[in-house]
Amino acid sequence: MADANPTELSDDDWRKELQSLRDEKDEFLGDHPQSPIPPDRRDQFDGLPYFDPDPKYRVTAAVETHDEPEPLELETTAGPPQRYLRTVTFRFEIGGENCSLSAYQQEGQESLFVPFRDKTTGQQSYENGRYLDLHPDDALTDADEVTLDFNLAYSPFCAYSETFSCPLPPEENWLDVAVRAGERTRDDR
């Protein structure tokens, strides 16, 4: 769903796959020994709140690669900053607005890390922002387009426990639109 050559899924298949991923995550958070939810709170956990699946938050983004990736230190919720390289910028439209998000990689990492804030941050979604992860099949080039599925946006582990230190989205990844997709913090709409 978030790769460089997305397989076109019917709307029903996309919704089923999304629900399956959400169910899998809820099971991990509620039962797994490595869950970020403290053990004494897992019995009360009955699943994460999510925005309703919405295909309009599954957008096509143009890729702009950076031949000489810029190093950047991302502040964290606790602890020292973490060093990343800004390797790609995605340009897309959402909610009638032209937007861009930078993607980062740590040395040796193949996946692309896209931390972001939007107009739901701190109100309907986690106060320190959310993340997307992309796993392109091949190296991206300037001619590529990728699917950014914000329905897959998730809160970092530090949203569930203060024992985790999580990178904060840099200001360049603060969107001026509300992205009502993915994980949320409360069920009020």
Q: For 138, phi and psi rounded to 5 degrees?
A: -135, 170
Instruction: Give the structural domain span for 162.
Output: 11-173
Residue 126 CB burial class (10 angstroms; 0-12, 13-18, ≥19): buried
Mean pLDDT for 115-130 is 97
How far is residue 142's CA from residue 179's CA, in Å, rounded to a whole number?
Answer: 25
Report the percent of the chain where pLDDT is more than 90: 84
- Residue 70: per-residue pLDDT: 87
Q: Is the per-residue pLDDT at 178 higher than 60?
A: yes
Q: Evaluate whether residue 139 is within a structural domain.
A: yes
Helix (H) or strand (E) holding 66: strand 58-74
How far is residue 53's CA from residue 180's CA, in Å, rounded to a whole number?
Answer: 9
Q: Evaluate whether residue 189 is within a structural domain.
A: no
Q: Is the per-residue pLDDT at 50 higher than 90?
A: yes
Higher pLDDT, 108 or 132: 132
Q: For 129, phi and psi rounded to 5 degrees?
A: 100, 175
Structural domains counted in the chain: 1
Q: Evaluate whether residue 96 is within a structural domain.
A: yes
Q: Evaluate whether residue 18 is within a structural domain.
A: yes
Q: For 11, phi and psi rounded to 5 degrees?
A: -60, -40
143 band by pLDDT with thresholds 50, 70 and 90? confident
How far is residue 74's CA from residue 152's CA, in Å, rounded to a whole number?
Answer: 22
Helix (H) or strand (E) holding 12: helix 11-31
